[in-house]
Amino acid sequence: MMVIPLALRGIIVVTGKNMRLYYTKPPVLMFGLLFPLFMFFAFFVGRHLDLVAFFPAFLAMMLFFTASSVGPLITPWEKRDKTYERLLSYPVTQDIIILGDVAAGAIFGIGISLCIWVVSTLFMPVAVMSPGLFVLAFVLGTISSSAMGVLIVSPGSDNPPNVMIFSNLIRFPLIFISGIFVPLSQMQGLGLTLAYWSPLTYLVDLFNAAMSGTSAFSPLVDCGVLAGVSAVFLLAARILQKRNLMKGM
- Would you tell me which residues interact with other proteins (CB under 8 A)? 2-3, 6-7, 9-10, 13, 16-17, 20-21, 81-83, 85-86, 88-93, 245-249
First to last CA, the chain: 30
Contact 206, 215 (CB under 8 A): yes
**Residue closer to other proteins, measured from CB, 79 or 171:** 79
Nearest of 150, 31, 157, 33 to residue 102 by alpha carbon: 150
**Residue closer to other proteins, measured from CB, 156 or 191:** 156
Min dist CB 87 to other proteins, Å, is 9
Min dist CB 245 to other proteins, Å, is 7
Q: Alpha-carbon distance 35 to 175, whole Å?
A: 12
Helix, strand or coil for residue 158?
Answer: coil
**Residue 208 DSSP label:** H
In sequence order, the 6+-apart residues with CB closer than 8 A to the CB of 51 are 44, 124
**Residue closer to other proteins, measured from CB, 21 or 221:** 21
Min dist CB 13 to other proteins, Å, is 5
Q: What is the DSSP string of 148-176?
A: HHHHHHTT--S-HHHHHHHHHHHHHHHHH
Min dist CB 75 to other proteins, Å, is 14
Scored b (16 or more CB within 10 A) or e, 108-129 reads bbbebbeebbeebeeeeebebe
Contact 209, 216 (CB under 8 A): no
Q: Alpha-carbon distance 130 to 21, whole Å?
A: 36
**Residue closer to other proteins, measured from CB, 9 or 121:** 9
**Residue closer to other proteins, measured from CB, 17 or 238:** 17
Min dist CB 194 to other proteins, Å, is 38
Encoded amino acid at 207, one letter: F
Min dist CB 44 to other proteins, Å, is 36
**Residue closer to other proteins, measured from CB, 14 or 136:** 14
